[in-house]
Each structure stands twice: as structure tokens, then as C-alpha cells.
Amino acid sequence: MKHRGEVLNRVVIQLNINKTKLADRVGYDRTTYYAHIKKADLDFVILWAYGKAIPYDFTKEFPEMETYIPENNKEIRNFEEMKIDRDKWREKYYELLEKYNTLLEGKK
């Protein structure tokens, strides 16, 4: 298993990113960043947040991370994924519209 914290640190060093500024953008302080890079099993959600701030796609090193990315922030990579995302939001809209109409009928 790859050491997630070391991979994060390697990317930050390779891209010459200021660690203090990066940690601040993610919502941590510098000492927390240093604690994160020591963790072999750094949470994928934390790694994703760093990746978004850098920007860098850590799913290249950790393909299994894809399932841990918060759903609303997944990048749509092709037309099929776009259709799936569209249909998901359409269904959500219809569900909410039905609930709203039911509430309106109950007020009459």
C-alpha cells in the first residue's frame, strides 16, 4: 500500500507549493499538514481536499479513492457521466417537486 501522506508531500514538493498557504486554503494550519503527511492511511476525503486546492488528481496514484470523493465534486469526464449526472439531478428535482405539490395540496 502506498503511503498517502508521503504521496501528498511528494506532489507538493514537486509542484513547489507553499505548505502554509496550501494548508490554509484547505482549512488546516501548517502543523496539521505535517501531521497529515506522516499518515500512511490519510483519509481519502482529506487527500481529495488537498488535491482540489493544489489542483492535483490523486486518483492517478489511488484509483480506489474515486469512491470516497464527495459526490457533488466529482469531475465529469465524458458524455455518459454527464447524462448520468443530469438524470440524477432531474430525479432529485422531480422528487422535490412532488413533495412541494403535496404540501400545497395539504394547505387547501
| pTM higher than 0.95 | no
Count of CB atoms within 10 A of residue 79's CB?
8
In the numeric block, the cell 469531475 is attached to 75
Contact by Cβ (8 Å): 28, 21: no
User: Based on the domain organization, do 61 and 90 belong to the same domain?
Assistant: no
Each residue of 33-82: pLDDT tens digit? Answer: 999 999 999 999 899 999 999 999 898 899 888 877 766 566 778 898 88
User: Based on the domain organization, do 8 and 22 belong to the same domain?
Assistant: yes
Here the CATH number for the domain that contains residue 9 is 1.10.260.40
User: Based on the domain organization, do 66 and 84 belong to the same domain?
Assistant: no
User: Based on the domain organization, do 62 and 22 belong to the same domain?
Assistant: yes
Mean pLDDT of the chain, nearest integer: 89
Contact by Cβ (8 Å): 43, 81: no
Report the domain count for the chain: 2
The range of the structural domain enclosing residue 105 comes to: 76-108
pLDDT at 77: 80
